[in-house]
């Protein structure tokens, strides 16, 4: 296809596709899907080889959030039955992080529900960052704590944080439909604060919330303008008890097109498959590794993920390799630029959701993993099978429990 040849050429030159080209990727047919994956895969391999970066989430504080994000199981008034607990102690968080690092993760994403941290909360998280880094040389730490006030990003940076995650989630035009307790501009402001403080910015989206193709392209182009080092792509996990529990708009093919579009628009950025990959990509997860160069290992914030051992086997069977702690994630031109990174010596580190937590599925200000949309252009709406509620399970192990985590 001329379209795909053009997009590959642009991706190798870091040239921005037109909006029409991005929309055309989302409108391709299932007959063309493998061609789309192969084309975006060329761009992914050019900048990131066959490496897959592993990230591990630690939910520092679960539930009890005053925000009303429709996709989130930790939202105000939630009836989802998730684990609810207040702040983990630094040693508890460090023990939880150790499980993920032992499984091959090189980045730990520290997430806490809530509108944003108080100065006391920043002190708590700073002690947790120190505990993790004292016990794990070279580990990357990303914080995801919600909306930041002036000076807080700098304090986190001084405490040793490498990155900060705060997702845009959806387009500015539709943001008010999913959240009323804060604004799209609030989220942009927090990403800019992280950038300004020298943290590696991580910001992504949620697909599957009923958005149009135009909405998806809008938010990805907005992310490109913000220039985060990592873009977590979450696929809505429709958790019972949330307003979006009935939104099952995604097919595996749709998810692959979305990931391909993100890769073409953000060719040299760490694209992370965050929440919802097991629910919506299912047996086609290995194909997604040809598009994204980063995933979360094991469970998410409030829901269970694929077994960590299965993740590692999937990566190996698909012909990819786990990125080592001594390898730089980002291409050299990004790793050495301004506030970006990719090495432990630089200001940030080019990685996740959640990221930071780019990958989550929950949390007022943290990378969620839920989202997705139906096509708003030429292609017909995807034919979605029966909702796979059997694949959605509330997390009952790991942080906040006495049971071993899934890593």
| pLDDT given for residue 264 in this prediction | 98
Q: What is the overall mean pLDDT for the chain?
A: 87
Position with higher pLDDT, 137 vs 150: 150
Is residue 404 over pLDDT 80? Answer: yes
This prediction has a pTM of 0.89
Is residue 344 over pLDDT 80? Answer: no
Is residue 220 over pLDDT 50? Answer: yes
What confidence category does residue 13 fall into, taking pLDDT thresholds of 50, 70 and 90?
very high
Residues known to be catalytic: 65, 69, 72, 109, 142, 202, 272
| pLDDT given for residue 369 in this prediction | 36
Is residue 367 over pLDDT 70? Answer: no
Exposure of 249 in the CB half-sphere (CA atoms within 13 A): 23
User: In this predicted model, what pLDDT tens digit does every residue of 160-185 receive, in sequence order?
Assistant: 999 999 999 999 999 999 899 999 99
- In angstroms, rounded to a whole number, what is the distance separating the alpha carbons of residues 225 and 54? 26
Burial 133-144 (b: 16+ CB within 10 A, else e): beebeebbbbbb
**Contact yes or no for 293/51 (Cβ under 8 A):** yes
Mean pLDDT across 24-29: 98
The partner residues of 296 in beta bridges, in order of sequence, read 55
Mean pLDDT across 380-397: 74
**Contact yes or no for 402/303 (Cβ under 8 A):** no
Which residues 6+ apart lie within 8 Å of 273 measured at CB?
Answer: 232, 233, 259, 281, 285, 288, 292, 294, 295, 296, 359
Which domains are present in the chain?
2-391 (3.20.20.70)
| pLDDT given for residue 382 in this prediction | 57
Is residue 81 over pLDDT 90? Answer: no
State phi, psi for 232 to the nearest 5 degrees. -80, 130
CA dist 367 → 31, 110, 275, 277 (Å): 32, 11, 9, 14
Is residue 69 over pLDDT 60? Answer: yes
Q: How far is CA 403 from the centre of its chain?
A: 25
Burial 49-75 (b: 16+ CB within 10 A, else e): ebbbbbbbbbbbbbbebebbbbbbbbb
Mean pLDDT across 357-366: 42
Position with higher pLDDT, 338 vs 101: 101
User: In this predicted model, what pLDDT tens digit does every residue of 278-309 receive, in sequence order?
Assistant: 999 999 999 999 999 999 998 877 777 888 99
User: In this predicted model, what pLDDT tens digit does every residue of 38-63 receive, in sequence order?
Assistant: 999 999 999 999 999 999 999 999 87
Instruction: Look up residue 284 and give its two tokens.
Output: 């086609």
Position with higher pLDDT, 400 vs 201: 201
User: In angstroms, what is the C-alpha Rg of the chain?
Assistant: 19
Is residue 405 over pLDDT 70? Answer: yes
What confidence category does residue 124 fall into, taking pLDDT thresholds of 50, 70 and 90?
very high
Alpha helix segments (H runs only) across 144-289: 152-159, 184-196, 213-226, 252-265, 277-280, 285-288
């Amino acid at each position: 296809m001329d379209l795909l040849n053009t997009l590959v050429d642009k991706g190798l030159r870091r040239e921005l596709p037109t909006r029409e080209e991005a929309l055309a990727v989302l409108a391709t047919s299932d007959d063309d899907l493998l061609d789309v994956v192969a084309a975006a895969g060329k761009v992914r391999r050019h900048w990131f080889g066959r490496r897959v970066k592993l990230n591990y989430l630690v939910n520092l504080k679960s539930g009890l959030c005053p925000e009303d994000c429709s996709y989130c199981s930790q939202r105000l008034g939630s009836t989802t039955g998730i684990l609810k607990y207040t702040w983990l102690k630094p040693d508890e968080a460090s023990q939880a992080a150790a499980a993920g690092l032992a499984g091959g993760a090189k980045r730990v994403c520290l997430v806490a529900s809530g509108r944003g941290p108080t100065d006391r909360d920043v002190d708590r998280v700073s002690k947790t960052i120190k505990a993790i880094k004292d016990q794990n040389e070279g580990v990357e730490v990303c914080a995801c704590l919600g909306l930041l006030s002036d000076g807080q990003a700098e304090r986190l940076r001084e405490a040793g944080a490498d990155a900060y995650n705060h997702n845009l989630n959806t387009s500015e035009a539709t943001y008010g439909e999913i959240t009323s307790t804060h604004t799209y501009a609030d989220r942009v402001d927090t990403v800019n604060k992280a950038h300004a403080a020298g943290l590696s910015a991580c910001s992504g989206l949620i697909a599957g919330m009923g958005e149009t193709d135009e909405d998806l392209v809008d938010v990805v182009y907005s992310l490109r303008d913000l220039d985060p080092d990592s873009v977590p792509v979450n696929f809505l996990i429709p958790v019972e008890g949330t307003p979006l529990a009935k939104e099952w708009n995604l097919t595996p093919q749709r998810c692959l097109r979305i990931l391909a579009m993100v890769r073409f628009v953000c060719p040299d950025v760490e694209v992370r498959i965050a929440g919802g990959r097991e629910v919506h990509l299912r047996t086609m997860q290995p194909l997604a590794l040809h598009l994204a160069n980063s995933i979360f290992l094991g469970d998410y914030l409030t829901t269970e993920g694929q077994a960590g051992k299965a993740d590692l086997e999937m990566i190996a069977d698909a012909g990819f390799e786990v990125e080592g702690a001594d390898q730089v994630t980002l291409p050299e031109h990004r790793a050495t630029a301004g506030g970006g990174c990719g090495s432990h010596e630089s200001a940030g580190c080019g990685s996740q959701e959640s990221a930071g937590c780019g990958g989550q599925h929950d949390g007022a200000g943290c990378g969620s993993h839920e989202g997705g949309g139906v096509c708003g252009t030429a292609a017909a709406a995807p034919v979605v099978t029966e909702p796979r509620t059997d694949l959605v399970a509330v997390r009952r192990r790991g942080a906040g429990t006495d049971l071993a985590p899934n890593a």
